[in-house]
Amino acid sequence: MHERTRAFVDFMVRCDVLTFGDFVAKSGRKTPYFVNAGRYRTGAQVAELGRFYAEVIDDAFGDGVDVLFGPAYKGIPLAVTTAIAMSERHGRDVGFCFDRKEAKDHGEGGQLVGHPLQDGDRVVVVEDVTTAGTSIRSTLPLLRAAADVEVVGLVVGVDRRERGTRGDVSALDELEEEFGLRTVSIASIDDVVEHLRDHDVDGRRVITDDDLDRIAAYRAEFGAA
């Protein structure tokens, strides 16, 4: 496992973003763990988050990206902080863009804010977590309606490794096949389990044997191969 992945898992734990217990996911499934990016709450945390994303994007796409797109709402700060980190850490001044939940009918109008998309722009979408891929399926038509852009990738913080709509293929892998874009995660639920199984964070045992059993059962029911 990449050391960056281990550091990211520890970072999520310290920010109370990654928690274990009894939760209900957006899909309606009862899940034994939850990733809540809304719990990044300070400037230092958001800056560090952007550095993780920027490093992954630089590794995966190099100079092959022009614009970062963050779907509303949690993707908005992601796109902004990652664009800052790309400039400061990797010498790449990329644009950032995000959408409104409802189109604005006054002022400049429209549904997109930030970098005005142009034909030929290479876009990477940044999100916090993926379960079923619902968000990206609604995002792509919006981007392609704005201009003849090339959506080259999707980068998520955590891949839950849940099955998509076709057999045992994960939702993230399914998106890659369906839309011809590259999908990358900073960590997966399998990375989380592997790292925290025998690892304390700041002297604290984060994941219990019961948590591990329930995650294994959840993965057996909903997880991709």
What's the burial of 122, exposed, middle or buried (CB within 10 Å: 0-12/13-18/19+)?
Answer: middle
CA distances from 204 to 1, 7, 18 (A): 21, 15, 14
Confidence at residue 179, expressed as pLDDT on a 0 to 100 scale: 87
Which helix (H) or strand (E) segment holds residue 58: the answer is helix 43-61
For the annotated catalytic residues, the residue numbers are: 104, 106
Q: What is the dihedral of CA 175, 178, 183, 185, to 10 degrees?
A: 20
Structural domains of the chain in order of their starting residue, each with its CATH number: 3-222 (3.40.50.2020)
Amino acid letter, residue 221: E
Confidence at residue 103, expressed as pLDDT on a 0 to 100 scale: 60
Question: CA-based Rg of the chain, rounded to a whole angstrom?
Answer: 18
| Residue 208: CB atoms within 10 Å | 10
What is the C-alpha to C-alpha distance for residues 75 and 103, in angstroms, rounded to an integer? 17
Residuewise pLDDT in 10s, the chain (225 residues): 899 999 999 999 999 999 999 998 777 789 999 999 999 999 999 999 999 999 999 999 999 999 999 998 899 999 999 999 999 999 999 999 999 866 655 445 568 999 999 999 999 999 998 766 677 888 888 999 999 999 999 999 999 998 877 777 888 888 888 888 999 999 999 999 999 999 999 999 999 999 999 999 999 999 887
What is the C-alpha to C-alpha distance for residues 148 and 119, in angstroms, rounded to an integer? 4
Nearest to 140 by CA among 148, 132, 130, 128: 148
Report DSSP state, residue 181.
-
Three-class DSSP category at 182: strand
Strands (E), the chain: 18-24, 30-35, 67-70, 95-104, 110-114, 122-130, 150-159, 182-188, 200-201, 204-205
Encoded tokens for 116: 């005005």
